[in-house]
A and B are shown apart, each in its own frame.
Chain A
Amino acid sequence: MNCRSEVLEVSVESRQVDEAMLALLHTILLHRSTGKFHYKKEGTYSIGTVGSQDIDCDYIDFAFVRVSSEELDRAMRKSVGEFKDALCNSGSDGVGQISLEFYQKKKSRWPFSDECIPWEVWSIKVNVVSLANEQERQICREKVGEKLGEKVINIVEVINRHEYLPKMPTQSEVDNVFDTSLKDVQPYLYKITYQITDSLGTSVSTTMRRLIKDTLAL
């Protein structure tokens, strides 16, 4: 509970799924990334630069800005690709949800592993529509573009609110807050998960984990 959650909903055609997802995820990550930290003596640090680039979408009348980091883009494309495949193969009515979760790690004492505590979760609910003819596609192209524009403004509004962000870490703790594996950019630690259809039950593993945790709890 101790985390903010934002929900975005979009309806797109199946070939637009990955572009739409990338547009939204990249927009969020643009605002949740910093340049690389260079720590110095006396515990100070300077922040490297981050480039940004405009990306034009092929299937949507839309362009978005993303951090110009190939690695980050590759990671995004991979997750979104998996999501899209799962969505297409599910055979259901094409409802899915992809969520981008920002978390921080907390070191804990021996018997427990490190905790990953989320502080912000963005869930994007996707509804895949199928269109009959080319004319509808054209309309959809524009409409989805407009919708995505609105969502981007939404995202920026949320991010502009003065709310909790993890504090800037010292050198030893930087891995607990930021993802330092990338060469050119340093986003907050994030995790992308997806879920196909609005299946009522959660997965078996989470249920089991909860069961064990519950029995252990007082």
Chain B
Amino acid sequence: MAHFDTEYQRLETSDNDSPPGGDDMLVHVPEGAKSQWHHIENLDLFFQRVYNLHQKNGFTCMLLGEIFELVQLVFVVALTVFLANCVDYDILFANKLVNHIQHEHETIKVTLPDAFLPADVCSARIRDNVFVIFIMIIAGVFWLHRLVKFIYNICCYWEIRSFYINALRIPMADLPYFTWQEVQARIIEIQKEHQMCIHKKELSELDIYHRILRFKNYMVAMVNKSLLPIRYHHPLLGNAVFYTRGLKYNFELIFFWGPGSLFENEWSLKPEYKRGGNRLELAGRLSTRILWIGVANLLLCPIILIWQILYAFFSYTEVIKREPGSLGARCWSLYGRCYLRHFNELDHELMSRLSKGYKASSKYMNCFMSPLLTVVAKNVAFFAGSILAVLISLTIYDEDVLAVEHVLTTITLLGVCVTICRSFIPDKHMVFCPEQLLKVILAHIHYMPDHWQGNAIATETGTKFSQLFQYKAVFILEELLSPVITPFILIFCLRHKALEIIDFFRNFTVEVVGAGDTCSFAQMDVRQHGHPAWMSAGKTEASIYQQAEDGKTELSLMHFAITNPRWQPPRESTHFISQLKGKVQREATSGQQGALPENHLFTSIQSIQSESEPHSLIANLLVGPPSMGSFQFGREGHAAPQISSAGGSDVASALRSLSPLSTSQDLRGSYTSTHPPRSDGTELTGARGMAGSGTDARTASSGSSAWEGQLSSMVLSEYASTEMSIHALYMHELHKQHSQTEPARHTWHRQESDDSSESVPEESEVPHGLPRSATFPSASARQHPYQEQAALHSSGQRRHGGTTVSGGPRAAPRFSRLPMGGWAEEVQAVRHHETVPEEGTEEELPPQIHKLT
């Protein structure tokens, strides 16, 4: 019995330990939301703002900039209204005497306030003028809209500012000295702790780029596939490109964010556009929308036009007066920026690339100065200059000359005239080497139609290039004309493309987990969008419709991998990158031993090297910080063998780092046995050392922590651009080789179109339109054998194309709706037949395409 009691007792004590509902129940400690940065609703906007704030150099700069913009707007309107209504021009031009005090003598001075009308007269005049009131009301509404937007933005960016300070731990004062890559590395770092994006534990660089550049990638892809109506064939002007900011704005309004646009919100395409079923109905709707937006544009046209004119007048007049030559200067056109942009390339990356190419490009365009114009300009400058000289000497002798009516005007006009003429007279001491210049340009802009190389002196190439790199004056003119032309382009050109646009968005939108709907080209997947002629042969499964033109996929992939070394590409892409880097590296090795003539890297590097102008590529690339010791070593290599071997091992390690997958053992062996380079190879060694050390430094540090010193990060980004330049040159070289020596069935449709239109007439006669100098580079001589070869091939292909026409009629209508060439719209008819042997890819084409006609 006692035994039972004890059992019972024990149960009771255990009961005492945890009474039901008592204090000792399981207790939790809340984590709480420590940061306000977890789970951000609109990550697109968030990252865009983070990027914008970084680009605008911090909150204060941005705030000031926006305030000044608002003030500027008020100022422009106020000044215009004032000038139109409150100035007595008769007094200003001294047609009428100042009447407030009647002096007997004529020595009174007219002051500026004399010319102003009194306030009451002035306001009465404004009140009577309905047009002015109308303009002012519109300006007022516009300004209020801007003001509200400004206040809203300030509130939003204040949040971003505190994100920088509290989460990223970057004080605003230091922001200008951080590169975007560093900021990005920190964002990726803090994602682990804050979980801004809830889909993934970790963000990748590509996720951030996708979100910031979602719509830009679409635009780049559409320009790449020639979907947007921005290139025209005009009977008088020939092939012209018209792409202005107004047009771009309208495109974006229609596709991305306007009312009823294709996108539901920032990150997803409306579901009905993803289904192929009712594409015709959707196309119809899109086309009506475009019509309405076009009509709205037409109605608003006068207002926009007035604004453009006023704005251009106030912003450019002063510049033109100060340096009239600036009108003769060039700038990258909007179309050029779109055409040259990689997928996933941020604004600042693009701009720095293009700016590096600016000098070479303007020098190149100077080659095309018409000799006729030069002769005329010289003489006009002479006559104008003589009169100017006389007037100036007279003025110096006696300044009363200035008081004579219109003398000052004449002097000013003559001065402007002389300056303009001078900009048409090429520098006497200038040496033209267009082929080389084009290579240097290519090293920076990375894209170029195939047929330009070897045809650098053709006027055709010049005009095409001028579409990318237009006169500033043309740019301003186009902007001024834009409000008038845009509605017509929308109504008459874009509307017909509605179906193609619907198809484009359906076929080239992929849903990426953690990023939403993105343009599939922006995935930079060589397998899906690779072009066989751009080294992805064998890897790509893309049909012609899916291939990105001009090797955009491949080059973008390289560019992205190089600018973001810590990005881990998908397996296919890793393979592609490592293969390419391996190739570059192998050729560099063989280049050191013998410099074979068909060595692509050698030619590409040589083209950098043989550019004798100190301002161009070498200066940009080679004059690096003193830390680039290996370059120095490489240069002095031939003089001191032991240093050279040091340099050599340096290069070896650098090149090893170029491709981590390759067998580094072989390499080390080959390099340790390296003899001191021959004297003719020294320049090359230097270049390779430079390239190698660049990559070496970058990859080495990319292995270390992300929190690098600011200086080294800057240095790294410089090296990255060098590395990309070399890879771009290499890829173009290889592509050229590929399309010339091996007319594979994948490439001919493109090559033919280029060669047949360009290089055949080119080769038969001496290039025209170029003042050739005695020092014309040997490069052109080197090109000739290839050209002949190319011509041979192209003719062969044409025959081939002819024989396969039998299957043509069926395929032709199908492809006629598929825009393909970046540059070759005029030869599309030829291409339709060529695409016939590609029937194997028919299944891969979206099924809807068949029903097109």
CA distance A3 to B516 in the complex (A): 10
Question: Count the A residues whose beta carbon is within 8 Å of the partner chain — how many?
Answer: 39
Contact B39 A117 (CB under 8 A): yes
Contact A215 B30 (CB under 8 A): no
Chain B residues whose CB sits within 8 angstroms of the CB of A200 once the complex forms: 270, 272
Candidates A3, A109, A173; contact of B32 at CB < 8 Å: A173
Contact B45 A45 (CB under 8 A): no
Q: Count A/B pairs, Cβ under 8 Å.
A: 99
CA distance A43 to B198 in the complex (A): 26
Closest approach, in angstroms, between the C-beta of B99 and any C-beta of chain A?
Answer: 51
Most buried by A among B39, B270, B516: B39
A74 CB-CB contact with B under 8 Å: no
Chain B residues whose CB sits within 8 angstroms of the CB of A2 once the complex forms: 39-43, 196-199
Closest approach, in angstroms, between the C-beta of B757 and any C-beta of chain A?
Answer: 43
B36 CB-CB contact with A under 8 Å: yes
Interface 9-mer from B21-29, B174-182, B316-324, B472-480: B21-29
Chain B residues whose CB sits within 8 angstroms of the CB of A15 once the complex forms: none
CA distance A170 to B195 in the complex (A): 18
Residue of B nearest to A177 (CB): B33
Candidates A46, A118, A169; contact of B33 at CB < 8 Å: A169
Candidates B39, B49, B145, B516; contact of A215 at CB < 8 Å: B145
Interface 0/1 of A1-20, CB less than 8 Å to B: 11110000000000000000
CA distance A2 to B268 in the complex (A): 11
CA distance A117 to B198 in the complex (A): 12
Closest approach, in angstroms, between the C-beta of B37 and any C-beta of chain A?
Answer: 10
Chain B residues whose CB sits within 8 angstroms of the CB of A166 once the complex forms: 33, 39
Interface 0/1 of B530-543, CB less than 8 Å to A: 00000000000000
B38 CB-CB contact with A under 8 Å: yes
CA distance A214 to B42 in the complex (A): 13
Beta-carbon contacts under 8 Å, B1-59 to A: 25-33, 36, 38-45, 48-49, 52
Closest approach, in angstroms, between the C-beta of A43 and any C-beta of chain B?
Answer: 7
Contact A217 B145 (CB under 8 A): no
Chain A residues whose CB sits within 8 angstroms of the CB of B218 once the complex forms: none
CA distance A47 to B28 in the complex (A): 8
Contact A167 B38 (CB under 8 A): yes
B75 CB-CB contact with A under 8 Å: no
Beta-carbon contacts under 8 Å, A169-188 to B: 169-171, 173, 176
Given contacts A109-B155, A216-B148, contact A164 B39 (CB under 8 A): yes
Closest approach, in angstroms, between the C-beta of A191 and any C-beta of chain B?
Answer: 14
Closest approach, in angstroms, between the C-beta of B286 and any C-beta of chain A?
Answer: 13
CA distance A118 to B198 in the complex (A): 11
B611 CB-CB contact with A under 8 Å: no
CA distance A1 to B268 in the complex (A): 8
Residue of A nearest to B158 (CB): A109
A127 CB-CB contact with B under 8 Å: no
Residue of B nearest to A108 (CB): B159
Q: Which residues of A contact B (CB under 8 A)?
A: 1-4, 40, 43-47, 104, 106, 109, 111-112, 115, 117-119, 163-164, 166-171, 173, 176, 200, 202, 207, 210-211, 214-218
Q: Which 4 A-B pairs have the closest CB atoms?
A: A1-B267, A164-B198, A170-B32, A117-B41
List 22 contacting pairs A-B, 8 Å CB cutoff, sorted by A: A1-B266, A1-B267, A1-B268, A1-B516, A2-B39, A2-B43, A43-B30, A45-B30, A46-B25, A47-B28, A106-B41, A109-B158, A109-B159, A164-B195, A168-B28, A176-B33, A200-B270, A211-B259, A214-B258, A215-B149, A216-B152, A218-B49
Please give 5 more A-B residue pairs, beta carbons under 8 A apart, in addition to A2-B39, A119-B198: A2-B198, A45-B27, A117-B39, A164-B199, A218-B49
